[in-house]
């Protein structure tokens, strides 16, 4: 209490994304059963209360490591999305949610994470379904293709065009026009179309491979 005004707690909730694992060619995000009240046992985004003097990035990494059991070195990059300030979002009292994103390595990782789809995340605790729904277009329209660190971590140093289509569709909810996406990829600084082609499915033509240059 300060000057008669209630002070809200700050929760750091993380959209932890991983592409291609456990389902090849699919983008998923992590949830985990809550271990304490409220909502014990219900799936939720990994989250922690912000510690005194703690940086948002550090708290986000702490949420991923402690709540999902994913080693810190498997967190490739992270950043901030937005803030949710509905006063009754947490039954324990006023709690702001600073929502962060983190890209997790596609390597096999230990931990308790359940990797769920954007369209069927299940009934999540708190307002986490709203957080997922509201941050999905931010990831699609503000970060993908516009933030190189995010895009490169998600797709890797090189990727077939079909994977770019898959990621764009997962985040936007709409399959992009291949021609428009091809023009988008061509315009990205540090990204080049290679002469390589790979087959990523049993049917259809091999896909063109795109690669980031070493200095990008």
Place of tokens 């994470």: 113
Query: CA 146 from chain center: how many Å?
Result: 15
Q: What are 157-194's pLDDT values in tens digits?
A: 999 999 999 999 999 999 999 999 999 999 999 999 99
Greatest alpha-carbon pair distance for the chain in Å reads: 67
In the predicted structure, residue 205 carries a pLDDT above the cut 70: yes
Are residues 62 and 39 part of one domain? Answer: yes
pLDDT for 6: 59
Q: What are 20-70's pLDDT values in tens digits?
A: 988 888 999 999 999 999 999 999 999 999 999 999 999 999 999 999 999
**Average of pLDDT values for 100-110?**
94
Tell me which of 1-15, 42-56, 76-90, 160-174 is least confident.
Answer: 1-15
Reported confidence tier of residue 2, pLDDT bands at 50, 70, 90: very low
Distance CA 166, CA 19 (A): 10
In the predicted structure, residue 207 carries a pLDDT above the cut 50: yes
Q: What is the domain count for the chain?
A: 2
In the predicted structure, residue 5 carries a pLDDT above the cut 80: no
Q: Tally Cβ neighbours within 10 Å of residue 2.
A: 6
Are residues 79 and 37 part of one domain? Answer: yes
Please give the residue that has the higher pLDDT: either 6 or 121.
Answer: 121
In the predicted structure, residue 117 carries a pLDDT above the cut 60: yes
pTM above 0.85, yes or no: yes
pLDDT for 38: 96
Asked whether residue 2 is assigned to any structural domain, the reply reads: no
Instruction: Name the average pLDDT for the chain.
Output: 94
Domain CATH code at residue 47 = 3.90.79.10
142: DSSP letter: I
Domain CATH code at residue 184 = 1.10.10.10
**Average of pLDDT values for 2-20?**
82
Domain end call among 114, 143, 172: 143
pLDDT for 201: 80
For the CA atoms of the chain, what is the radius of gyration? 19
**Average of pLDDT values for 199-214?**
89
Are residues 31 and 137 part of one domain? Answer: yes
In the predicted structure, residue 215 carries a pLDDT above the cut 90: no
Distance CA 116, CA 103 (A): 15
Are residues 22 and 58 part of one domain? Answer: yes
22 preceded by cis ω (within 30°)? yes
Domain end call among 143, 169, 198: 143
Q: Tally Cβ neighbours within 10 Å of residue 88.
A: 9
The domain in which residue 126 lies consists of 9-143
Asked whether residue 123 is assigned to any structural domain, the reply reads: yes
Domain end call among 93, 108, 143: 143
**Average of pLDDT values for 144-169?**
97
In the predicted structure, residue 83 carries a pLDDT above the cut 80: yes
Are residues 131 and 201 part of one domain? Answer: no
């Amino acid at each position: 209490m300060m000057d008669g005004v209630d002070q809200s707690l700050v929760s750091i909730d993380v959209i932890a994304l991983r592409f291609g694992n456990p389902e090849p060619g699919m983008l998923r995000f992590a949830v985990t059963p809550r271990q304490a009240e409220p909502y014990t046992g219900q799936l939720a985004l990994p989250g922690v209360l912000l510690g005194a003097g703690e940086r948002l990035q550090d708290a986000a990494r702490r949420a991923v490591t402690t709540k999902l059991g994913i080693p810190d070195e498997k967190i490739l990059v992270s950043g901030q999305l937005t803030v949710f300030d509905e006063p009754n979002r947490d039954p324990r009292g006023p709690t702001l949610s600073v929502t962060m994103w983190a890209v997790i390595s596609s390597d096999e990782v230990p931990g308790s994470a359940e990797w769920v789809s954007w369209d069927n995340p299940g009934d999540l605790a708190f307002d986490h379904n709203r957080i997922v729904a509201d941050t999905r277009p931010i990831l699609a329209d503000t970060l993908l293709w516009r933030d190189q660190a995010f895009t490169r971590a998600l797709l890797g140093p090189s990727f077939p065009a079909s994977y770019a289509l898959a990621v764009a569709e997962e985040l936007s909810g709409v399959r992009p026009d291949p021609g428009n996406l091809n023009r988008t990829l061509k315009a990205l600084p540090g990204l080049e179309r290679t002469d390589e082609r790979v087959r990523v499915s049993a049917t259809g033509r091999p896909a063109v491979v795109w690669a980031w240059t070493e200095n990008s």
